[in-house]
């Protein structure tokens, strides 16, 4: 059976980076649903548009204190996965392996993160990231359902960045260690650290990815902070230029 992958896209037509991500899932054999409020988005052939208003009204859309809708999409994905199940992927994630190569068990993914906030010891730690979630059989009381309940009640005007995403999932997984999700290592879906993006993805001597890497997270927020357009051509010889060729994304 074909695995359903869900994405969310809002606003302008998908840029080169997002189009590459969408094309990669289609090329790897996933059935890709793109949830959007845009009536006629410019999606790659084969992608299915779904009305995001079926999940949340557009009036519910909000930006966090950094001016991003990322926290809204945290909430949105928990609703999608609770109602429909399947695989959630952010629109800056590239599929490197087909669904047949994924674990059959529901899973969550991790990343390396540098902790420097007050009341936390400094140093590198592994935390969950919700950029990829596999929840094939939604169940009341599972981590996604619990995350949804908390996300719905959390005051939206108090959100800075990851309160509904990595912070929430990491806390829930620690409070409920018998949650039943496989916890995948950082190299599975976040092999390039956020602090390395987008430089490592665009340089001519690209990093080598391990065979067990199933997804590549491009950390689109880091592009915004660096002032680099996700719609700009990928430099020749870069990892993203190679992947664009592999998955048929035009890269003049």
Q: What is the CATH number of the domain that holds 71?
A: 3.90.550
pLDDT of residue 252: 84
| 124 occurs within a structural domain | yes
pLDDT of residue 11: 85
| 191 occurs within a structural domain | yes
Domain count along the chain? 1
Question: Any idea which of 114-118, 190-194, 247-251 has the lowest mean pLDDT?
Answer: 114-118
Q: Per-residue pLDDT averaged across 149-172, rounded?
A: 94
What is the residue range of 122's domain?
Answer: 4-247
| 35 occurs within a structural domain | yes
| 129 occurs within a structural domain | yes
pLDDT in tens, 52-81: 999 999 999 999 999 899 999 999 999 999
| Strand, helix or coil for residue 3 | coil
Q: Per-residue pLDDT averaged across 191-196, rounded?
A: 95
Which of the two residues, 126 and 18, has the higher pLDDT score? 18
| 252 occurs within a structural domain | no
Respond yes or no on whether the N-terminal peptide bond of residue 198 is cis (omega within 30° of 0). Answer: yes
Length of the chain: 252
* 4-8/86-89 β-pairing: parallel
d(CA 250, CA 19): 9
| 31 occurs within a structural domain | yes
Q: Per-residue pLDDT averaged across 22-41, rounded?
A: 96
| 164 occurs within a structural domain | yes
Q: Identify the CA nearest to 144 among candidates 127, 124, 112, 169.
A: 169
Please list, in sequence order, all residues whose beta carbon lies within 8 angstroms of the beta carbon of residue 113, skipping any fewer than 6 positions away: 124, 125, 126, 127, 166, 194
The two structure tokens encoding residue 215: 């997804």
pLDDT in tens, 110-154: 999 876 555 455 667 889 999 999 999 999 999 999 999 999 999
| DSSP letter for each residue of 63-86 | --TTS-SHHHHHHHHHHHHHHH-E
pLDDT of residue 174: 95
| 81 occurs within a structural domain | yes
């Amino acid at each position: 059976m074909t695995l359903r992958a869900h994405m969310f896209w809002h606003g302008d037509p998908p840029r080169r980076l997002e189009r590459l991500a969408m094309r990669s899932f289609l090329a790897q054999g996933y059935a890709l649903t793109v949830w959007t409020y845009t009536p006629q988005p410019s999606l790659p052939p084969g992608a299915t548009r779904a009305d995001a208003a079926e999940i949340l009204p557009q009036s519910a859309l909000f930006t966090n204190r950094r001016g991003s809708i990322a926290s809204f999409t945290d909430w949105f994905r928990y609703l999608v996965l609770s109602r429909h199940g399947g695989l959630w992927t952010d629109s800056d994630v590239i599929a490197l392996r087909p669904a047949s190569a994924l674990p059959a068990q529901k899973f969550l993914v991790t990343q390396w993160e540098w902790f420097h906030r007050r009341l936390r010891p400094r140093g590198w730690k592994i935390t969950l990231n919700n950029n990829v979630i596999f929840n094939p059989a939604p169940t009341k009381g599972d981590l996604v359902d619990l995350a949804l309940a908390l996300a719905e009640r959390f005051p939206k005007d108090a959100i800075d960045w990851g309160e509904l995403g990595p912070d929430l999932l990491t806390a829930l997984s620690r409070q409920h260690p018998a949650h039943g999700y496989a916890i995948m290592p950082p190299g599975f879906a976040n092999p390039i650290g956020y602090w390395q993006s987008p430089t490592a993805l665009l340089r001519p001597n690209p990093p080598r990815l391990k065979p067990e890497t199933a997804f590549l997270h491009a950390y689109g927020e880091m592009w915004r902070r660096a002032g680099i357009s996700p719609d700009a051509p990928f430099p020749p010889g870069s990892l993203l230029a190679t992947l664009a060729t592999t998955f048929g994304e035009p890269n003049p």
